[in-house]
Amino acid sequence: MEKQARFALIGCGRIAVNHLDAIKNAPSAKLVAVCDIVEEKAKKVAEEQGLEKWYTDIDDMLNNEKVDVCCVLVPSGRHAEVAIKVAGHKVNVLCEKPLDVTKEKMKTMIQTCKDNGVKLGAIFQRRSFMAAQETKKAIENGTLGRVTMGDAYLKYYRDQAYYDSGDWRGTWELDGGGALMNQGIHGIDLINWMMGGIESVYAHCEKLVWDIKVEDTAVISVRFKNGALGVIEGATTAYPGLDTIFQVNGSEGSIMFGDEGFYHWKIKDNKVDQPDVSGSMGGLNCQYNTNNVGHILQVEDMARAVLDDRDPLITGEEAMKSVNIILAIYESARTGKEIKLDEFNQ
């Protein structure tokens, strides 16, 4: 059998299940070690996976195991410190979203990986949703004519028990924000990616329901670099949690898609048929998604990136974009001003 990349998990919490399943199903990856600061969690996963040892310390694990890629699955505001430690061992990093929660930490993490000659890949599993890929294509190849609007509706529901399930949830320091930085970031990544970049944001962010420090409801007016306008709405207060919906409109057609695929594909030139996107992954309208296709594709891609010595599909630089957009949104909500991304990112 062809060589497989050797994966280790750092963090054995909720999202670890998706990574374990992805490593099992990705032909080029195999699991060799797990680590969590809470020993029972590491031990439980190790035993379930047939590993003889488990670790509670990252250095200890990387000094004792031969690892090619560490999946960083710890609370968001600790991603950079963990990735920097892993890079110091000359081990590649596959980091969960968001890359981290401040510009400075993300920049240091990207630079440290470069300085140590290791790859930094980031998870945004919904980029593998074919409806998003086909919509991006339709925007770029002119199928929609002059694109005038792009909207993302990211109306989810999380209850107080969810926020109480970890002391990092709903905090500025470790969650980096609320409905946008934790849940909405997937949709913000997609609308920015499909539309070719956000130029400026004007936002209202409120904490309307949950006992947390960060926003649970937000509405943002967006100007895209291609001249189109749009709206992003994000919430964890929309019972029972709705589909993730995107709408893109132009002078020659309109597309609307959600978790089930395309809901509208109306193009003036009726020779352009609606693409078949059945079987690909949708969005996430409940607390945890059971469809793991996106994680499997990204773990396989990271393994191949290491084995074939190429960049991963989503690099650290690419993953940083959506965090910077959300930080600009928070700045706009705080100051009451429209924030231009280019100036904000300098």
Q: Which residues bind ligand NAD (CB under 6 A)?
A: 10-15, 35-38, 41, 58, 73-76, 78, 82, 96-97, 123, 125, 166, 182
Nearest to ligand NAD of 123, 255 (CB atom): 123
CB of 287 to ligand NAD, least distance (A): 9
Nearest to ligand NAD of 12, 228 (CB atom): 12
HEC readout, the chain: CCCCEEEEEECCCCCHHHHHHHHHHCCCEEEEEEECCCHHHHHHHHHHHCCCCCECCHHHHHHHCCCCEEEECCCHHHHHHHHHHHHHCCCEEEECCCCCCCHHHHHHHHHHHHHCCCCEEECCHHHHCHHHHHHHHHHHCCCCCCEEEEEEEEECECCHHHHHCCCCCCCCCCCCCCHHHHHHHHHHHHHHHHHCCEEEEEEEEECCCCCCCCCCEEEEEEEECCCCEEEEEEECECCCCCCEEEEEEECCEEEEEECCEEEEEEECCCCCCCCCCCCCCCCCCCCCCCCCHHHHHHHHHHHHHHHHCCCCCCEHHHHHHHHHHHHHHHHHHHHCCCEEHHHHCC
Q: Are 36 and 12 a contacting pair, CB within 8 Å?
A: yes
Nearest to ligand NAD of 35, 327 (CB atom): 35
Between CA 115 and CA 342, with CA 81 as vertex, the angle to 5 degrees is 70
Nearest to ligand NAD of 17, 272 (CB atom): 17
CB of 98 to ligand NAD, least distance (A): 6
CB of 126 to ligand NAD, least distance (A): 8
Nearest to ligand NAD of 250, 283 (CB atom): 283
Residues 310, 303: Cα–Cα separation, whole Å: 10
Residues 14, 232: Cα–Cα separation, whole Å: 27
Nearest to ligand NAD of 125, 249 (CB atom): 125
CB of 60 to ligand NAD, least distance (A): 11
CB of 70 to ligand NAD, least distance (A): 10
Nearest to ligand NAD of 174, 307 (CB atom): 174
Provide CB contacts within 8 A for 90, sequence distance 6+: 116, 117, 118
CB of 104 to ligand NAD, least distance (A): 18
Tell me the residue number closest to ligand NAD, measured at CB. Answer: 13
CB of 261 to ligand NAD, least distance (A): 19
Nearest to ligand NAD of 166, 196 (CB atom): 166
CB of 245 to ligand NAD, least distance (A): 17
Nearest to ligand NAD of 97, 321 (CB atom): 97
CB of 289 to ligand NAD, least distance (A): 7
